[in-house]
């Protein structure tokens, strides 16, 4: 059985015990977690509430962590501990196969309603890091309850320790003092100290040499080198990703502006790019419409009230690259 927490208020030299009370409704706990998931963990962003699965179940809270992995948060509510454990495992069997596109769809539907944002922007704001190329490489389960029985504890520990299921239980104990002040205490069943994440399923970031080789194999080597040499040394800070190059503002904590997606390019379509148009126009202090007119085969793929305009397209010829780079460099030089 879980250890019972006892709580005292220190008043001068006197200790006044605050008695534990029955949590009014475990639905209150779901609301608290939805509003501030940090009471469960700092490294989480809620991306869905009462998410309907393909099996007709309703997953209480779906979260994402800073690695891009999903976290199922299931509340015990009026279920037995065994029932909620079985239900959480059922939800996990659905979550494990969610694609990047499906995760983004679920998240955007929830986040747009909640705060007018989308997944990429909410992720960057929450974790102050770039949006990962791969989502849901791994997933884990957190069961939330006011209490849990010893039999269920053994089952959960067995799943974790014997089969490596990423599952844990957070129990919350609720207190109310004589003045009506409410207090909440949290305890995890198993140690939550961060362990090295198994990244065997995550593709490593490509090297610059590998990117050049990919471009050459798709007969885009010259197009890629012209873009790289023309844009990057003068304008951007770069990092490699699992798909290509990420170009950011050349300043501290610079935002992502431009992606060259080598792994999504081919000789027929050309070298694929993704651009945060408003960021780039602000960075270079040029009109966004003029900028989009310079981008070959440009199509808008996303915009909302609080998000940047995002578009994508393809550089197919060296002439397109030279025209784009020349114009941008001219605009850049005019600002210096």
Question: How many CA atoms does the CB half-sphere of 296 hold within 13 Å?
Answer: 19
Q: How far apart are CA 110 and CA 116, in angstroms?
A: 9
Q: How far apart are CA 223 and CA 216, in angstroms?
A: 10
Residues facing residue 167 across a β-bridge: 141
pTM over 0.75: no
Q: For residue range 38-65, what is the model confidence (pLDDT) as tens digits?
A: 999 989 999 999 999 988 889 999 999 9
Report phi then psi at 220, rounded to 5. -120, 15
Domain ranges of the chain: 7-188, 208-335
CA–CA distance from 275 to each of 120, 260, 301 (Å)?
A: 13, 9, 10
3 state SS of 303:
coil
Q: For residue range 142-172, what is the model confidence (pLDDT) as tens digits?
A: 999 888 889 999 999 999 988 889 999 998 8
**Biggest distance spanned by C-alpha atoms of the chain:** 82
pLDDT value of position 77: 79
Which CATH number fits the domain 7-188, given the four candidates 1.20.1560.10, 3.40.47.10, 3.40.1350.10, 1.10.645.10? 3.40.1350.10
Label the pairing between strands 58-64 and 45-52.
antiparallel
Measured torsion, CA atoms of residues 107, 101, 126, 53, in degrees rounded to the nearest 10: 40
Whether residue 27 is predicted with pLDDT greater than 70 in this model: the reply is no
pLDDT value of position 155: 93
Confidence grade of residue 283 (pLDDT, cut at 50, 70, 90): confident
Helix ranges (H only) for 96-149 are 100-115, 119-127
């Amino acid at each position: 059985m879980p250890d019972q927490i006892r709580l005292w208020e220190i008043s001068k030299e006197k200790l006044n015990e605050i008695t534990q009370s029955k949590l009014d409704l475990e639905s209150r706990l779901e609301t608290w977690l939805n509003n501030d998931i940090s009471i469960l963990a700092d490294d989480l962003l809620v991306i869905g509430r009462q998410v309907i699965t393909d099996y007709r179940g309703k997953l209480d809270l779906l979260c994402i962590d800073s690695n891009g992995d999903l976290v199922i948060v299931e509340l015990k509510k009026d279920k037995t501990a065994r029932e909620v454990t079985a239900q959480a495992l059922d939800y996990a069997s659905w979550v494990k196969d969610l694609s990047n596109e499906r995760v983004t769809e679920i998240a955007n539907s929830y986040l747009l309603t909640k705060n007018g944002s989308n997944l990429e922007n909410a992720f960057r704001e929450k974790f102050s890091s770039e949006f990962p190329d791969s989502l849901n490489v791994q997933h884990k389960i957190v069961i939330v309850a006011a209490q849990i029985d010893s039999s269920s504890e053994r089952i959960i520990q067995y799943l974790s320790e014997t089969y490596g299921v990423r599952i844990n239980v957070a129990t919350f104990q609720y207190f109310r003092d004589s003045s009506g002040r409410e207090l909440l205490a949290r305890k995890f069943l198993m140690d939550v100290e961060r362990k090295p994440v198994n990244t065997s399923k995550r593709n490593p970031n490509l090297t610059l040499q590998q990117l050049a080789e990919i471009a050459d194999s798709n007969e885009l080597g010259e197009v890629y080198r012209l873009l790289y040499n023309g844009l990057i040394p003068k304008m951007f800070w770069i990092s490699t990703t699992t798909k290509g190059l990420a170009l950011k503002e050349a300043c501290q904590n610079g935002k992502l502006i431009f992606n060259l997606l080598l792994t999504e390019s081919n000789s027929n379509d050309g070298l694929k790019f993704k651009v945060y148009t408003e960021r780039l126009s602000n960075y270079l202090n040029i009109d966004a419409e003029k900028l989009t007119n310079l981008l070959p085969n440009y199509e808008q793929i996303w915009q909302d009230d609080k998000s940047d305009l995002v578009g994508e397209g393809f550089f197919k010829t060296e002439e397109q690259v030279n025209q784009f780079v020349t114009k941008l460099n001219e605009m850049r030089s005019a600002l210096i």
